Structure 1
Amino acid sequence: MKFITKIWHPNVDPETGEIGSGVFGSWDPTDTIRITLESIAKLLEQPNLQWPKNAEAAKIFKEDQAGFAKKAQQWAVQFAGAPSIENDQARYGGYNPNLVQQFVDMGFGVEAVVKAFEFVGVDRNNGQDYTLEEAYQGDVLARLSEDW
């Protein structure tokens, strides 16, 4: 088995996309597609470092989980068209996307909501999600309505 899209993972060859043959154990004709897909999903979540196909990814996974996650995200953006985390963070001005989304769902644009948050003085809370106080909600809505 192999991935067509390049993937940064200890058990996937970075050039061919082949999954290490030893990671699944022996194949059985009674294995269903469901069992196979569940095995792949589990492997993606929990790499088998005894059978690496990508030694560099395995080494980074063991030594620097954050570095591994960053490189895996970079590959996902580059080869699979995943959204860039940096772009999302910049787009939301450091605010948690869920906090912004509450106002976007009311019909306001992301940029307008971020500007209103900044104008009103909404705490970024290090990008963590939290419930915005009613007074701030009213102030943000008032500001957004002025610009509408």
Structure 2
Amino acid sequence: MLDLSRVQKELVDCNRDKSSGVSIDLVGDQLSHLAGTISGPIGTPYEGGVFRIDIRLPDGYPFEPPKMQFVTKVWHPNISSQNGAICLDILKDQWSPALTLKTALLSLQALLSAPEPDDPQDAVVAQQYLRDYPTFLGTARYWTEAFARRVSIGTEEKVQKLVEMGFPEALVRTTLENAGGDENMALEKLCSG
């Protein structure tokens, strides 16, 4: 059974720390579905980007690892460029109940700083990283610019309007991002469930 009090405590602890570059929001009203955000590490091609992570907690959490997947497209050897799947040991067999959602997000942030191309999730990206590093850097920077830049003022206004309609902010941001910033398309998706 999901330890709801622990999850609530973790959310408070994570969001209290404004300097870490990670945060977690609820998606809807269930504590088992969350949206994480990590800032791209300074000195990497991901610098300046804000990356959204879908987090689903199994009933066995914290004894089973959370299921995490990048929502924001990212060019990285250990993250699928197609579906956002992540290759990281602590999200699989190296998970421990002593770890938290915050430490998992910080580990993802560290993974952005130190790719492991010899244990890839995306073989195409890993090959580029190993064989043509300058092109890898350029592609990673381009994807960060295209998909992970902080939302603009116009987007903030759209988010505010949709939140005022009664939709949760994390869900609005994810839906708006998936709709390419198209407010009407996002509203349609939000209304259709």
**Which structure shows the higher strand fraction?**
2
**Which structure shows the higher helix fraction?**
1
Q: Which has the larger radius of gyration?
A: 1
